Structure formats: C-alpha cells, structure tokens
Chains A and B, each alone.
Chain A
Amino acid sequence: MNLHEYQARDILRRHGIPVPPGEVATTPAEARAIAERFGGKVVVKAQVHAGGRGKAGGVKLAKSAAEAEAHAKAILGMTIKGLTVHKVLVAPAAEIATESYVGIIVDRTSQRPVLMVSPAGGIDIEEVAAKTPEKIHRLAVDPRYGLLPHQAVALGFALYSDVKQARAAADIMQKLYGVVYAVGASLAEINPLVTTADGTVQALDAKIGIDDNELERRPEIAALRDVSSEAPEEVAARAAGLTFIKLDGDVGCCVNGAGLAMATMDLVKYYGGQPANFLDIGGSSNPQKVVAALRIMTSDPRVKVILFNIFGGITRGDDVANGIVQATKEFPLKVPIVIRLTGTNEKEGIAILERAGFKALADMDEAVKQAVA
C-alpha cells in the first residue's frame, strides 16, 4: 500500500524529522485559505499514487493565494496515469540551496534493509542510478543493531562537507530507519532532502510504501488507505481477497497462484492473444471469490472471452466449479468462457460444470488455444 506525500510527511514529522509545513486541501477555496496563512507564495502538489506528477502538470508554484486557488482548481480532478486527483498539498515555497536523496528499501540480495543516499537528489534519481551509479552510496544495515551512528555520519558526509549538515543528515537517516520498522515500510524515501538558504537540512518530499502483510497488525496505518485514489476494480478485488491488475488485452484470465497466472498470461500471448488482466484467486478456495472474480471481469467491456486455468492444490476444483455456476445465476456472463480444471477434486468440479452445461478441459495449452481462437 502506498501512502500519499502528505501522509508520509506527517509520519516523518512525528518521528522527529524536520519537515517544512504544509496542509491538505480538497477544494480550491481551502487551497486559497491555506496559501493565505502561508503568506501567498506556495507550491500546490497533486496527492496521487503516481510518479511524474511534476511532468504531468500536477505540481505548480503560486505567487499569491489567488494563484494558488487557480492552480488547485486546475489540479483537483485532473487525471495522472489514470488516477484522479482528489487532494492537493499546499506548502510554502522553499528557498532551496541543495537537493539530495535518502532512501531505505529491503533488498532481496543482501536480505537486509539497504540505505541509499545520493548528493544528486531531485526528480531524476533513477537516471542518476542508471548513468552515474558512483553518485549513489549504499549501506546494508544489520537489523540486529540497526543503523549505527558512525555509519550514518559517514553517509552524512557523502552528502555534505559541512559537519553540522552531515550530522543533521545522519540524524534524519537514523530516524528514517526507525520509521521503516515502526510503520512496516517496504520503502521509505526522502527526495529531495534539501538544505535551505540558512543551511538547515529538511525533508521536502517523502514517499512511504507499506508492506501489505503489515496492515493486519497495524490498523492505524491500514486506516490511511485512500480508496478513492485506487482503480475501482482493484479495490473490489482486494475486498474479495483477490489480486487483480488490469491490462490492455481482451482475454480475461482467472487463475489460482501468481506464478501460474503469469504463465497463463504468457501463454495467451504465445498463441497470439492479449491478456485483459492478471487475476490470482489465491490458495484457499471459496466459491464467493470466484463469483467476485467473474463479476470484475464481466464488468470490463473489453473482455471478449474468459479463461479459467485452475490447477487444484489447496484450491479445490469443486469450489471453483460451484463459484462459476453460482455467478451465472447472479448475473449474465455475456462472453464465452473456457475452463481448464485439474488437480484436487477435479472429478467433482467437472461433474458440477457439466451439469450446468459447461465443458472443462484438462490441458492448459488446449484451453488457451480455444480462448484465443
């Protein structure tokens, strides 16, 4: 789960990291009122879960409260990478002297949280990483001891030659490391970490991604989820316990297991088709999940055929078959359906399907060929 910039800034502030002021507005009038409080010269930033906000016109500088209101009017309701903007952050325009990058991510290879810092911060940090990797300094932190003071200070000096600034940055890094474990973050980054005209070090923009597996034990973080900023199908899928990602094709895919789901999408492409989605109904089977999956797929007008690929393990074939039959009683499928069903309780599942007038195939390639034809 991704947090909005304003939510991430709040978390950083609560953990003692210096963050410049800023408030959230949902209407142009609110934006104007906030801008007036900050003296008129502000930046208005779209709060949306998409990168490249600036390039999309979602970040605007205003010289007056009236201009802030006009910018907010333009930004609120705009669409960035398919997501509608419902909130803007209004913050005083800062006098920036330097921009750096500080980020922490859990790294697969070292199996540790890795702290990355770069004196070349700002919007193009990915380009920095690709073109001048020597400008990125990394440290794999031993989670038993945490980020040690001397390690943080050394990285602070990678950003600033001034000892006061290096120590301030080190303090921010240690606090950011604390944030990761405190909120269950899979990613926490400050970009840019700035120095202002008077030399203070501040976190100007922040991004925090939460490991979804942490949400059950952290209700206060789960409550930060902004459903209005996510694709509606994905919200519906999550509510039903499914993993769903919308794609551009016309073959709706419903599979148990992420690996098999990806392999099924690949096979659709192999035989000349285009998958309409990634959809994993997960391990434990429940007919209601299948009903929800069919409801989501049939609501997409681009879907011309629905392909089930079920290899029963924990998932039981009869549960899936019951779900398909149940769905047809609740709403029309509208498009042809091709079902491959094998594994646990396949005989029971096939019998249920045949009684309802459906056929089931045993072979994955045959099923995909039929769906694509």
Chain B
Amino acid sequence: MSVFIDQSTRLVVQGITGRDGSFHAKQMIEYGTKVVAGVTPGKGGQRFENTIPVFNTVAQAVHETHANTSVIYVPAAVAASAIFEAADSGIELIICITEGIPVLDMTRVLPFVHERGARLIGPNCPGLISPGKSKVGIIPGNICKPGKIGVVSRSGTLTYEIIHQLSTHGMGQSTCVGIGGDPLIGTNFIHCLAAFAADAETAAIVMIGEIGGTDEQRAAEFVKEKVKKPVVGFIAGQTAPPGRRMGHAGAIISGSSGTAADKMAALAKAGISVMKRPADVVPLLQERL
C-alpha cells in the first residue's frame, strides 16, 4: 500500500500542452504513472506524444477515460478555475502544482472542493510520489527509493534534500507528499499523518515544517494522541528574521507561535524526534526503528 496514489491512480493532466505540463507529463509517464488524459481548452481531439488523448474539458476527460486524479500545471491566473473544474467533474484527488494563486481565490476554492468530497493537495506544491508505483507532480523520481518511510513536507527542494538523505542511506519511502507552502492549502499535516498512520507499509514518518502559522503545533497534538508510529520532524527557519509580519492583525493571529523555536518545542513535547539539521534524519530514524 501507499497513501493517496498507487497503481490504481488514473491521471488527467490539466495544462498538458503547456511548457511545464508537457515536460512533467513525459516524466510521469516515464516513471510509470498511468496518465490517461490531458486537458487544454481548444486542443481537444489532439493526442499528446501521439498516444494520450487531449480534451477541451475535464468533464469530457473523466467521461471518456475514467480519470480519478488530476494534476494542474496551468498558469496562476487560471489555476483556481482549473481546481473548480476538476472538483466539479468528479475528480477525487486534485494536485495543484501552480505557484502564485491569490489567497483570496483559495478562500472560495477550498469550500467548493470540500463540498464535492474531493481532496486537494497544494497549491504551490511539488506533488507526491509513491516510489516504484506512481508519481504525480514534479518530485524527481531518481532520488526516491521504495521503502517504509512516509514523508510529508511544506517545502519543495528541502523535501528533495531529506529524500536524498534517506535514499542514500538505504531508507526507502512509502509515499512522499509535498503539501505546499501557501497559507491556504487543501491537505495539511494532520491529513497526511492520519493516512500514514493507517498505511500498513509505512513504518515511520518524517514531517518537515516551516515557520509561520500553527499547523505544525496542531499536527504535534495529533501525533501525541493518535499516531503510534515513530515520527521525526524538522522545522526550517530557525534563523529567519522575526519581523516581516503582516501588520498588527498578523501578529494577533499567530502571536509568537509561528516561530521555529515554538514549533520545535511543540514537536518535542509530543514525542517527535526533532532534527537540528537535515542530515539528522537518518540517525534519528535509526534510533526510533
């Protein structure tokens, strides 16, 4: 098993004829992901790489190919619309890679997706990979190895660094999920921790957080109460300047709880082994396994 994606994932790529969409569609096909359709309005009827049918709408793609998962590479200006469309077309899992979607757009997207029973991962995320089975997004397949470690992260390249550390020390991964760095995201740490906790193939979990917000603290509470598997955590931004907050209202919402020190303390209190640096991930996991 793995979480969210596996061999049964039937993927439609929204923006398949674009620069990023076409590049990563090829990478995903090479990795073995079942890419069953592409969507680009106005290019319906074409075939991507002479094989994969392209449709004008996601609804058509779902009707014709039974796609159950969508990945979005369209530009930020139309990305919110692409998420609405995917959710409206019965897609169960939507992964939005696009960076730069206005936060106010997301305040309208998220309730819409939720009401339709779909799960959104992202936006502004690298997607996810279940090594050896399926990859949806942009995480480089060659740095991953199949195995028993579940990885969940708010970051992109920092996730690659952690995966690289794991793989080069023989610790493969069940699934790696990048949940995205935006303030408003569809899937948070707790959703992923719950999925990893229930996944028979995941033996231990690595969670990688950042400064800002209080998601990590709430995740720590969840780990303490619900997760029996070992969890190892990292918080980026220990040296980040404390200023740069969004006026008084930002300070009122987050108080001092958005700092790395506060988050690391919350993780440690919940029994999570806290890394001081990315290279600590392997020794800490070895201690706990």
Contact = CB atoms under 8 A, between A and B. Distances in A.
Interface of A: 51, 101, 103-109, 111-114, 116, 125-126, 129-130, 136, 142-144, 180-181, 184, 186-187, 189, 191, 207, 209, 211, 213-214, 216-217, 245, 247, 255-260, 262-263, 265-270, 275, 278, 283, 311-315, 342-344, 364-365
Contacts of A130: 255
Given A184-B104, A213-B102, A104 B249 contact: yes
Contact of B103 (A186, A275, A314): A186
A213 B247 contact: no
A211 B102 contact: yes
Interface stretch (B28-36, B136-144, B193-201): B136-144
A144 B184 contact: no
Contacts of B99: 283
Given A126-B248, A213-B76, A266-B236, A258 B155 contact: yes
Q: Count chain B CB atoms within 10 A of each CB in A105, A136, A263 and give the residue with the most.
A: A263
Contacts of A103: 247-249, 252
15 contacts: A51-B248, A108-B215, A129-B251, A136-B252, A142-B111, A180-B104, A209-B247, A257-B158, A259-B181, A259-B208, A260-B157, A263-B158, A263-B161, A278-B240, A311-B160
Interface residues of B, number: 61
A289 B239 CA distance: 24
B253 A114 contact: yes
Contacts of A51: 247-248
B211 interface: yes
Top 9 A-B pairs, shortest CB-CB distance = A259-B155, A257-B157, A259-B158, A262-B236, A105-B249, A103-B249, A260-B157, A129-B252, A262-B237
Interface string B225-253: 00000000010111111001011111111
Interface of B: 20, 76-77, 99-104, 106-108, 110-111, 126, 138-140, 143, 153-161, 164, 181, 183-184, 208, 210-211, 213-215, 218, 234, 236-241, 244, 246-253, 255, 260, 276-279
Given A259-B159, A265-B240, A364-B279, A106 B184 contact: yes
A313 B140 contact: yes
Given A262-B210, A266-B277, A189 B249 contact: yes
A108, A187, A209, A364, most chain B CB atoms within 10 A:
A108
Nearest to A189: B249
B209 to A, nearest CB: 9
B157 A262 contact: no
A107 B157 CA distance: 26
Given A106-B103, A187-B249, 10 more contacts: A105-B249, A125-B252, A126-B248, A247-B241, A260-B155, A260-B161, A262-B237, A263-B234, A266-B237, A311-B157
Q: Which of A111, A113, A245, A255 has the most CB of B within 10 A?
A: A111
A111 B107 contact: yes
A184 B238 CA distance: 30
A342 B165 CA distance: 12
A344 B140 contact: yes
Contacts of A107: 253
B102 A184 contact: yes
Contacts of A136: 252
A106 B218 CA distance: 19
